Amino acid sequence: MSDWKQKRFWKEVGIAEAETGYAIELDGRRVKTPAKAALVVPTQSMANAIAAEWDAQTGAVNPQTMPFTRSANAAIDKVAIQHAEVADMLAGYGDSDLLCYRAETPAKLARRQAEQWDPALDWAALDLGARLEPRVGVIHAPQDVVELAKLTRRVHALNNFQLAAFHDLVSLSGSLILGFAAALGWRSAQDIWDISRLDEIWQEEQWGEDEEATAAALVKRGAFLHAKQVFDFS
């Protein structure tokens, strides 16, 4: 029984308007999430992406080739039932944001961090209305609670699907600010991903690439770019 896999049984994939968005249908029957909730998404763009994934299945259904479906399932089955907890967890990144912990030496690395990370903090101060302050070293130093509260309110305001995508934007980059920057289009998702990997890129320049680390980074990059798409579709 452990080797059983669902096989394609449907001929047609459709999209139907639902009370809270768009439902995916297989031969007229609506798809459900793993927790048996209705798979209803907020926009037609997301519904189109999910429908395309189901229509592309041949033979055994492979969930690994259905990232939009998996993201929607996470939003419905997980985030929707613990929205506040997820939002608080992600907002917590602000108090130890990647962008705020700087190297003292070597000077070239410190300059590169300032050149790439300061603009993101400046953008957040202007567009998000919250200023996080950098510090030298890795020892935790709390940020201003008023500024953190502003960012926390913004995280809580995200809908379930946005929050599911935002989870990956923040956790993969290690930065609440870069998560917002990617979500709101400060720069391209690829540029923001590169900014988040500044320290790793520096290490590669000094010591050369590690094949396993590079492969892992490519997987994370793909997940980050996908999360941006999901956010845009939400």
- Average pLDDT in the 173-196 region? 98
Q: How confident is the model at residue 209 (pLDDT cuts 50, 70, 90)?
A: confident
Percent of the chain residues topping a pLDDT of 90: 93
Neighbours of 26 (CB within 10 A): 17
Q: Angle 224-225-226 (CA atoms, 0-180°, nearest 5)?
A: 90
Query: Do 177 and 196 form a contact (C-beta atoms < 8 A)?
Result: no
Neighbours of 39 (CB within 10 A): 23
Burial environment of residue 55 by CB neighbours within 10 A (0 to 12, 13 to 18, 19 or more)? middle
- As a whole number of angstroms, the distance between CA 115 and CA 192 comes to 13
* CATH 3.20.20.105 holds for 81-233: no
Q: How confident is the model at residue 4 (pLDDT cuts 50, 70, 90)?
A: very low
Q: Give tens-digit pLDDT for 117-129.
A: 999 999 999 999 9
- CATH for 13-66 is 3.30.2180.10
Q: Which residues contact 204 (CB under 8 A, 6 or more apart)?
A: 210, 214
Q: Give tens-digit pLDDT for 159-184.
A: 999 999 999 999 999 999 999 999 99
Task: List the chain domain ranges.
Answer: 13-66, 81-233
Query: Do 94 and 150 form a contact (C-beta atoms < 8 A)?
Result: no
Give pLDDT, residue 1.
33
Give pLDDT, residue 5.
64
Give pLDDT, residue 6.
81
Q: Angle 205-93-111 (CA atoms, 0-180°, nearest 5)?
A: 35
**What pTM does this model have?**
0.94
pLDDT, mean over the chain: 95
